[in-house]
Structure 1
């Protein structure tokens, strides 16, 4: 890889991306920022395909991708990327949505055996569908084999829809019965009456991590551009924390949120002072939950430490 060119950094163009914007605008972040509105699952594909170098996305998506690679018998065993940093410390609130006129779906209890809409297989919206099923007792382990969504699916169909707009359309048309997406991104569509909220669930882990392609990792060392990226993100986060009115203005004018929702979201989110490194306990806990939920196969080993290139 050409060490002189800017890194290609994948990110989700939502309110959480505001410190990335500040790092680029004020602190000389030298990177090509590539939006992935369809989320973490798409970034995993792009990392493995050499289309991006770094991804900033959801913890559960990254860990699920690496766990599946470890459990696979194919040559993709190293997963193509590793965890190098922490971007958000707080959990994520996943809102559960259905169509505006789907009166037959009153609560999450009505979703067992239904059609779940997801952006991609392996994305956060896919992974959290199985965490929801685990929490609500919808999973039936296969004796002697362990839990696997392929053996014991709590849903009649998994409908891959790629974008948030497609997901909203699908629950109104009946193509899907429900989908899961971050609460504040969903809220303006509740307010407009386009979709309806039927529940929510929080991740039991800190919600966003930074990963780098394995081509940027040599032993315990990261490519200097990755170190520089995280230093610039630290400064963008500091600017975010010290200039909340500017953050609200950016979110409410450049992104798809109201000023009121932006201010409410600010009360719920905490970014780290330093993005460098990942807590191994968080990754181990996420792996354990994903095994219990059937996203990963419980009977096959998962090495959480091997997923991390830089520990806290």
Structure 2
């Protein structure tokens, strides 16, 4: 008998969630949408705890979660879909009044603030260190300060608990404009930025749960609606998600959602794992191999 219980879908309540909102509002997506403002790392914990069935989050967070050598059991989830095709622009931020921090190059050996261990903000710290050639030392940073939320990250770089953090550009921008934090630079993910995962309970028997298949169909409709109704998207983002209208319009020109959300390109996963191994986030020969991270029917 097919389970008719609505899926519990974890998502980050930012501008990227707009097609998901449209899928439920206009196309009858029967699901409980559960916001995770603290990001992908929190969703990794939640899906393993059975608190959500599906998660929509950052590629590097999901892959790092499965690639760690200490992962227990079957890892709890598999990559099943692609939500955003374009890379993510991570803004690098410090406190508004931190004269000791002048540039990205001055961040070596400093305290990095992250939302959670294993989150995108954590993983990208190592990618940044790799790009800046700071990985020759035992640790590129003096400390990794776990702060859980974007608000606490902003507080920490102003009170000195952390020296810098990384968060999505447009989510950070209004706080630059308000003078609360200061921008040092940016770094782009070397991969497509958002993936959809499903609990391994929904991938048993070599077949994907029908509710996840339905989700893909509804998301594809939500993406199409997003592309064809950009004024509605701007209105939703600027009135419900806390972005200014100009920032919402600017973001629209930087993002591309896939026409078909089902499926993950194996090459994307393999390349992400290779970079994370180079950056020291994952270790070769340890943890799950790239081919095992993705569900294939």
Q: Which residue of 1 aligns with 2:281?
A: 295
Counterpart of 1:44 in 2: which secondary structure? helix
Q: Which residue of 2 aligns with 1:286?
A: 272
After TM superposition, give the deviation of residue 166 of structure 1 in Å: 0.4
Counterpart of 1:211 in 2: which secondary structure? strand
Q: Which residue of 2 aligns with 1:257?
A: 243
Over the aligned positions, Cα root-mean-square deviation in angstroms equals 1.4
Structure 1 length-normalised TM: 0.93
Q: Is the 8 A contact 2:66 2:287 kept in 1?
A: no
**Aligned pair 1:27/2:13, yes or no?**
no
Q: Distance in 2 between matches of 1:181 and 1:293?
A: 19
Q: Is the 8 A contact 2:67 2:286 kept in 1?
A: no
**Aligned pair 1:93/2:79, yes or no?**
no
Change (3 A) 1:301 1:4: closer
Q: Is the 8 A contact 1:38 1:162 kept in 2?
A: yes
Counterpart of 1:55 in 2: which secondary structure? strand
Q: Distance in 2 between matches of 1:168 and 1:287?
A: 29
Structure 2, unmatched stretches of 5+, are none
Q: Which residue of 2 aligns with 1:238?
A: 224
The C-alpha deviation readout for 1:227-267, integer Å capped at 9, x for no partner, is 00111000000000000000000000001100000000000
Counterpart of 1:222 in 2: which secondary structure? coil
After TM superposition, give the deviation of residue 276 of structure 1 in Å: 0.4
Q: Which residue of 1 aligns with 2:109?
A: 113
Q: Which residue of 1 aligns with 2:41?
A: 41
Q: Which residue of 1 aligns with 2:119?
A: 123
The C-alpha deviation readout for 1:118-175, integer Å capped at 9, x for no partner, is 000000000000000011000027xxxxxxxxxx210111000000000000000000
After TM superposition, give the deviation of residue 26 of structure 1 in Å: 0.4
Q: Distance in 2 between matches of 1:52 and 1:2?
A: 18
After TM superposition, give the deviation of residue 299 of structure 1 in Å: 5.0
After TM superposition, give the deviation of residue 302 of structure 1 in Å: 4.5
Q: Distance in 1 between matches of 2:191 and 2:25?
A: 30
Within 5 A, what are the aligned runs for 1:1-312?
Answer: 3-68=3-68, 71-72=69-70, 76-140=72-136, 152-298=138-284, 300=286, 302-310=288-296
After TM superposition, give the deviation of residue 104 of structure 1 in Å: 1.5
Counterpart of 1:206 in 2: which secondary structure? coil
Q: Is the 8 A contact 1:115 1:159 kept in 2?
A: yes
Q: Distance in 1 between matches of 2:269 and 2:284?
A: 16
The C-alpha deviation readout for 1:201-222, integer Å capped at 9, x for no partner, is 0000000000000000024310
Structure 2 length-normalised TM: 0.97
Change (3 A) 1:256 1:46: same
